[in-house]
């Protein structure tokens, strides 16, 4: 996969609401009391524990669809009502991903919706007043209707805190950084290893991409390398090797731990 830098933003025309203010208003409208988005782990990884398979995230990373991921995370945050849909102007969504051009914004949003529709993560319908209605589907890409994840009954999920947007990580992180943030949040542990060599099989993300994302999260003060652990292996002469152990830093420390 080609190197992906943080999303480029277009200049903000006079009289147009800036990107972060647009996002703030969208998130306020969601009215989630805990200010966190529940996301099923199926978005990242599927299959049984012994034979995991990548979820839809790997398609977005492989195809370098940063803005599609940005819009998907925002849609996930704001569709919290009965029908899990949201109706908005394309210009609003375009501003939320930093494209303030009248024509380019329409194109950016239309392309992103198509990617998400093809992955069966959303449906689109024509809304009122020239707006578009976006309906969130289940995170596994099966195309089935969305239902809130349950805290019990084998429906694992993780929360994406609103601080992701509050702290501007949606702008400053590259696509590898965003992907690895979601993966680290899904660990739901205070400390965890993330062997880069396992990333292709576990999440469909190359070891190089994972390494860049982990380094970026550490540079941003989101993730810390807190220890190293030894493990048995046949890949070394001694039969032992070591790997880093990470921990998320506040406010991204898994809630409830």
Domain ranges within the chain, ordered by starting residue: 19-248
Q: Is 240 helix (H, G, I), strand (E, B) or coil?
A: strand
8 A C-beta contact, residue 177 and residue 216: yes
For the entire predicted model, the pTM comes to 0.90
Closest CA to 208 of 176, 256, 255: 176
What pLDDT shows up at residue 3?
40
What pLDDT shows up at residue 129?
87
pLDDT, mean of each 10-residue run, the chain (257 residues):
49 79 93 90 91 95 97 92 88 95 93 98 92 96 94 84 96 98 94 92 96 97 94 80 92 75
Closest CA to 157 of 186, 194, 136: 186
- Tell me 128's DSSP state: G
8 A C-beta contact, residue 217 and residue 175: no
């Amino acid at each position: 996969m080609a190197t992906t830098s943080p999303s480029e933003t277009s200049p903000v025309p006079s009289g147009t609401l800036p990107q972060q203010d647009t996002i703030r208003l969208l998130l306020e409208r969601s009215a989630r009391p805990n200010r966190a988005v529940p996301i099923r782990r199926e978005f990242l990884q599927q299959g049984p524990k012994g034979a995991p398979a990548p979820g839809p995230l790997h398609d977005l990373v492989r195809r370098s669809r940063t803005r599609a991921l940005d819009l998907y995370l925002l849609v996930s945050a704001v569709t919290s009502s009965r029908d899990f849909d949201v109706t908005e102007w394309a210009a609003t969504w375009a501003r939320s991903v930093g494209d303030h051009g009248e024509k380019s914004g329409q194109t950016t949003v239309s392309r992103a919706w198509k990617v998400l529709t093809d992955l069966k993560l959303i449906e689109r319908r024509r809304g009122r007043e020239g707006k578009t209605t976006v309906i969130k589907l289940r995170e596994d890409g099966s195309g089935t209707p969305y239902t809130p994840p349950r805290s019990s009954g084998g429906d694992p999920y993780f929360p994406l805190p609103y601080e992701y947007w509050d702290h501007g990580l949606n702008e400053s992180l590259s696509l590898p950084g965003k992907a690895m943030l979601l993966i680290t949040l899904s660990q739901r542990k205070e400390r965890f290893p993330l062997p880069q060599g396992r990333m292709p099989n576990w999440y469909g993300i190359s070891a190089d991409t994972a390494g860049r994302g982990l380094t970026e999260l550490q540079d941003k003060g989101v993730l810390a390398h807190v220890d190293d652990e030894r493990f048995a292996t046949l890949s070394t002469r001694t039969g032992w090797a070591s790997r880093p152990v990470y921990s998320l830093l506040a406010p991204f420390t898994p809630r409830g731990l």
